[in-house]
Amino acid sequence: MKRAFVLVEGQTEETFIRDILAPHFAPRGLHLQPVSVCTKRIKAGGKYRGGVINYRQVERDLRPLLNDSKVSVVTTMIDYYRLPKDFPGMEDLAKSDRPKKQVRHLEKALEKEIDDQRFLAYFSLHEFEALLFADPKTILDAFPKTKKRNPLGDLSPQPEKINDGKTTHPAARIESAAGSYRKALHGPIIAKRIGLQKMRSECPHFAKWIKKLESIAS
């Protein structure tokens, strides 16, 4: 079986990879192993994981994963929303471009910087919670006490087109509708209820990443 590392932003994505993506890829011959970004190393030898503070922190974790000669692919699952300004490609990012084009520009820039044929960059548009908007009803069903008529706000045709406004990005919409929302707890549960196929059908950028990994598996 081929092996793949997925460098993820935190516990939510780690659980998502382990519980939803890994079972999809295992029968196809690709073992996905999530690895959370290390935010701090302490003298005693321990590590704090979760959250992306700067690019060097991500690069520091990517390089060792690629040093494993037995790995077929190393990829990422990091939010585009509030991505640190020191990431490759940020300096010449066209603000006038649509978010999907901006993200693709940054993915290509990161792949060029890492410079390894086994590396596949992926940024979530705009963040993990966009995948949950593949089925807004499932989000609301998880929080039955929500009584607002339109609690998630006005939605675009595609979840990945929901904007990155301070109060309107996907996570903010869920938090506004359901104050009890906790990303690491509720995110993977809702995602599992929605199912991978539904998320793929509603989120083209995410679907393209999954398709690339499937081609590597085969």
* Predicted local distance difference test score (pLDDT) of residue 201: 97
CATH of the domain at 45: 3.40.50
Domain that holds residue 175: 128-193
80 in the same domain as 57: yes
123 in the same domain as 135: no
81 in the same domain as 142: no
**Is 85 within a domain?**
yes
16 in the same domain as 83: yes
**Is 142 within a domain?**
yes
**Is 150 within a domain?**
yes
- Calculate the alpha carbon distances from 8 to 76, 115, 146 in Å: 6, 19, 31
3-class SS letters over the chain: CEEEEEEECCHHHHHHHHHHHHHHHHHHCEEEEEEECEEEECCCCCEEECCCCCHHHHHHHHHHHHCCCCCCEEEEEEECCCCCCCCCCHHHCCCCCCHHHHHHHHHHHHHHHHCCCCEECCEECCCHHHHHHHCHHHHHHCCCCCCCCCCCCCCCCCHHHCCCCCCCCHHHHHHHHCCCCCHHHHHHHHHHHHCHHHHHHHCHHHHHHHHHHHHHHC
* Predicted local distance difference test score (pLDDT) of residue 189: 97
Amino acid at 84: P
111 in the same domain as 99: yes
Q: What count of other Cβ atoms lies within 10 Å of the Cβ of residue 46?
A: 9
79 in the same domain as 97: yes
Tell me the β-bridge partners of 33.
Answer: 5
**Is 10 within a domain?**
yes
* Predicted local distance difference test score (pLDDT) of residue 149: 75
pLDDT, tens digit, for every residue of 7-65? 999 999 999 999 999 999 999 999 999 999 987 554 444 455 557 999 999 999 999 99
121 in the same domain as 38: yes
79 in the same domain as 43: yes
119 in the same domain as 100: yes
* Predicted local distance difference test score (pLDDT) of residue 44: 41
16 in the same domain as 77: yes
pLDDT band at 155 (very low <50, low <70, confident <90, very high): confident
135 in the same domain as 61: no
**Is 198 within a domain?**
no
* Predicted local distance difference test score (pLDDT) of residue 146: 78
The number of distinct structural domains making up the chain is: 2
32 in the same domain as 9: yes
CA 208 to chain centre: 13
